C-alpha cells in the first residue's frame, strides 16, 4: 500500500471526512532535504470534516497529526494541510 493510500485510510477512519484530498507533491521537492528517491515524502491535504467543528486550526492539525503519527515518524517529511468544517468549505 502506498503512503498516500495509508494516509487516506487512516484519515477516513479517524475523521470520517466529507471531503479528503491527498496530493503527493514530492516531485516539487526532488533534491531537497527530506526528499526520498521514490517520492511519497511531501504531501498536501484538504480535509473537510464535522469533527473539526468548534476546534481551533491548531487543534484540527493535531487531530490529523495524531492519526498519521506513524507516517510522520517515517516516510512523510512534510505535510501541508487545510482543515475545514463543512460550513467553512461551503463558504469557499
Every domain of the chain and the residues it spans: 3-91
- Whole-structure pTM over 0.85, yes or no? yes
Q: Could you tell me the three cell numbers for 68?
A: 498519521
The list of the chain residues with pLDDT below 70 reads 27-39
Q: How far is 60 from 82, CA to CA, in rounded Å? A: 9
Q: What percent of the chain has pLDDT over 90?
A: 74
Q: What is the pLDDT of residue 87?
A: 97
Q: How far is 92 from 76, CA to CA, in rounded Å? A: 28
CATH superfamily of 3-91: BolA-like (3.30.300.90)
Residue found by looking up cell 477516513 in the block: 12
Amino acid at each position: 500500500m502506498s503512503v498516500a493510500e495509508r494516509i487516506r485510510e487512516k484519515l477516513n477512519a479517524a475523521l470520517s471526512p466529507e471531503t479528503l484530498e491527498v496530493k503527493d507533491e514530492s516531485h516539487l521537492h526532488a533534491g531537497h532535504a527530506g526528499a526520498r528517491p521514490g517520492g511519497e515524502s511531501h504531501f498536501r491535504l484538504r480535509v473537510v470534516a464535522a469533527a473539526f467543528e468548534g476546534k481551533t486550526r491548531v487543534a484540527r492539525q493535531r487531530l490529523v497529526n495524531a492519526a498519521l503519527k506513524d507516517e510522520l515518524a517515517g516516510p512523510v517529511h512534510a505535510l501541508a494541510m487545510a482543515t475545514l468544517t463543512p460550513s467553512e468549505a461551503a463558504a469557499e
